[in-house]
Amino acid sequence: MRPYVLLTPGPLTTTDSVKQTMMADWCTWDEDYNVHIVEEIRKELVALATPDTDEYTSILMQGSGTYCVEAVIGSAIKPGDKLLILSNGAYGDRMGNIAEYHGIDYDMLAFDETEQVSAEYVDDYLAHNAEITHVAVVHCETTTGILNPLERLAHIVKMYGKKFIVDAMSSFGGIPLDVHKLGIDFLISSANKCIQGVPGFGFIIARRSELMRCKGVSKSLSLDIYDQWETMEKGHGKWRFTSPTHVVRAFKQAMQELKEEGGIEARHRRYCQNHDVLVQGMRSLGFRTLLPDEVQSPVITSFLYPHDGFDFKSFYAQLKERGFVIYPGKISQADTFRIGNIGDVHPADFTRLIDAIKDCRY
Ligand SMILES: *Cc1c(COP(=O)(O)O)cnc(C)c1O
């Protein structure tokens, strides 16, 4: 069932058992689906996000991860509010693009793509800009693989009493975090990242009290998180519009497999091992990472081209022939390519990858 191993999050490599669950058709309004699958997923997602579940709820939303980011920004920021976006990559920049489309009042603090968002800078900024009501940041910037200092940022955002929106798309389920402890008001992720489902929907973990403030705010019907939540809540797992039933069923299986693996901590350890085998192997071949180890996430790793004449297309094709698909780079300031460590991939796969790379001409 695998023409190649996807090292491209995402979509990413999923287990055969996750794929297998999609071989049946599900009725959207039957209890078997909405009560036993959708509602359980919603509850389990909140439990994955924090042990203090009372103040939080979750919303599933059709589309890719960006739909959920746009849905949150478009539903949470009211006229009179002002959003501060912290960006050190394409996904942070995309939040700015969303704010532009929606005509939302915002400021952007842009940092170098190879540097973490600076907590000191944010502290200084918030001290001088009292009109800011919400702060948004990407946890793991998949553009490079850099991990932002979520705890320090959360501390500052909360110290100034601002609402906190976190794009944890590529980290939730793979890097431990606690939304309640961090004071996160909206956390966004999607089916096809660290939970290891297939693409087709995303989800939002929301503080109930903040979600209540979203009623009537959105200028988009399909991206209204309050309306989506209300229908799911009152209808016990009912989606407003056609739900991606097969994808949701696959996600339920993926959640089960996350539990069987030992939860987020265990998955995080596996991703770290994947990353270690990858980086040690690549360094032994003379490759260098774009980022210093201190700021690198275990999610995805950027490597610099090994020399000026490096032909990524040929390298990519040779690896694909050997059963591995990798990612091109996504930054302008250096020639890089990226290799993902998340999905149903294991240290042994990275040992095989390194052997395959040894075998390539580049
Ligand atoms: C994958 C990802 C997204 C969403 O991308 P889509 O293509 O819409 O699924 C957003 N932010 C981050 C950090 C991501 O890794």
Query: Ligand 1: which atom is nearest the Cα of residue 192?
Result: 9
Rounded Cα gap, residues 295 and 285, in angstroms: 22
Where residue 170 sits, what CATH number does that domain have?
3.40.640.10
Please name the residues in contact with 111: beta carbons below 8 A apart, sequence gap of 6 or more.
86, 87, 88, 117, 118, 121
* Residue having the nearest C-alpha atom to atom 12 of ligand 1: 169
Same domain? For 285 and 165 the reply is no
How far, in Å, from the CA of 167 to the mean position of ligand 1?
A: 8
**What pLDDT, on a 0 to 100 scale, did the predictor assign at position 9?**
84
Where residue 287 sits, what CATH number does that domain have?
3.90.1150.10
Same domain? For 129 and 275 the reply is no
Tokens standing for 159?
């110290």
Q: Is 192 in the pocket of ligand 1 (CB under 6 A)?
A: no
Q: Is 61 in the pocket of ligand 1 (CB under 6 A)?
A: no
How far, in Å, from the CA of 231 to the mean position of ligand 1?
A: 25
Same domain? For 141 and 246 the reply is yes
* Residue having the nearest C-alpha atom to atom 4 of ligand 1: 65
Which of 237, 259, 281 terminates a domain? The answer is 259
Arithmetic mean of pLDDT over the chain: 97
DSSP string, 67-129: HHHHHHHHHH--TT--EEEEESSHHHHHHHHHHHHHT--EEEEE--TTSPPPHHHHHHHHHH-
The domain of 185 spans 16-259
* Residue having the nearest C-alpha atom to atom 6 of ligand 1: 65
Strands (E), the chain: 5-6, 56-62, 83-87, 106-110, 134-138, 140-141, 146-147, 163-167, 186-190, 201-207, 300-304, 324-325, 327-328, 336-340
Rounded Cα gap, residues 312 and 154, in angstroms: 38
**What pLDDT, on a 0 to 100 scale, did the predictor assign at position 19?**
97
Strand 201-207 to strand 186-190: parallel, antiparallel, or no bridges (unpaired)? antiparallel
Share of the chain above pLDDT 70, in %: 100
Instruction: Give the chain's end-to-end CA distance (angstroms, integer).
Output: 29
Rounded Cα gap, residues 256 and 250, in angstroms: 10
Query: Ligand 1: which atom is nearest the Cα of residue 141?
Result: 13
Same domain? For 53 and 155 the reply is yes
Q: Is 138 in the pocket of ligand 1 (CB under 6 A)?
A: yes
Rounded Cα gap, residues 186 and 318, in angstroms: 42
Is 324 within 8 Å of 7 (Cβ atoms)? yes
Query: Ligand 1: which atom is nearest the Cα of residue 66?
Result: 8
The angle formed by the CA atoms of residues 232, 238 and 240, to the nearest 5 degrees, is 85
Same domain? For 225 and 270 the reply is no
**What pLDDT, on a 0 to 100 scale, did the predictor assign at position 29?**
82
Give the phi and the psi of residue 238 in degrees, each rounded to 5: -80, 135
* Structural domains in the chain (count): 2
Is 286 within 8 Å of 306 (Cβ atoms)? yes
Share of the chain above pLDDT 90, in %: 94
Rounded Cα gap, residues 168 and 175, in angstroms: 9
Same domain? For 327 and 198 the reply is no
pLDDT for 201-214, tens place per residue?
A: 999 999 999 999 99
Same domain? For 240 and 295 the reply is no
How far, in Å, from the CA of 207 to the mean position of ligand 1?
A: 22
Which of 259, 281, 297 terminates a domain? The answer is 259
Is 160 within 8 Å of 152 (Cβ atoms)? no
Query: Ligand 1: which atom is nearest the Cα of residue 199?
Result: 9
* Residue having the nearest C-alpha atom to atom 3 of ligand 1: 65
Same domain? For 214 and 275 the reply is no
Which of 66, 144, 166 gets mutated to test ligand 1 (max ligand atoms within 8 A of its CB)?
66
Residue 1 has pLDDT above 70, yes or no: no
How far, in Å, from the CA of 9 to the mean position of ligand 1?
A: 9
**How large is the average pLDDT for residues 133-156?**
98
Rounded Cα gap, residues 75 and 70, in angstroms: 8
Same domain? For 94 and 122 the reply is yes
Query: Ligand 1: which atom is nearest the Cα of residue 69?
Result: 10
Please name the residues in contact with 296: beta carbons below 8 A apart, sequence gap of 6 or more.
145, 146, 147, 275, 289
Beta-ladder partners of 303:
289, 337
Beta-ladder partners of 42:
none
Return the minimum-mean-pLDDT range out of 23-37, 184-198, 272-286: 23-37
Same domain? For 59 and 144 the reply is yes
Q: Is 170 in the pocket of ligand 1 (CB under 6 A)?
A: yes
pLDDT for 324-336, tens place per residue?
A: 999 999 888 899 9
Residue type, position 120, single letter: E
Band the pLDDT of 191: cuts 50, 70, 90: very high
Same domain? For 250 and 268 the reply is no
How far, in Å, from the CA of 3 to the mean position of ligand 1?
A: 24
Residue 182, H or E segment? helix 179-182
Is 14 within 8 Å of 191 (Cβ atoms)? no
Which of 235, 259, 283 terminates a domain? The answer is 259
How far, in Å, from the CA of 91 to the mean position of ligand 1?
A: 7
Band the pLDDT of 3: cuts 50, 70, 90: confident
How far, in Å, from the CA of 120 to the mean position of ligand 1?
A: 26
Residue 48 has pLDDT above 90, yes or no: yes
Rounded Cα gap, residues 208 and 101, in angstroms: 26
Same domain? For 208 and 60 the reply is yes
Rounded to 10 deg, the angle between the 347-358 and 312-321 helix axes is 120
Band the pLDDT of 10: cuts 50, 70, 90: confident
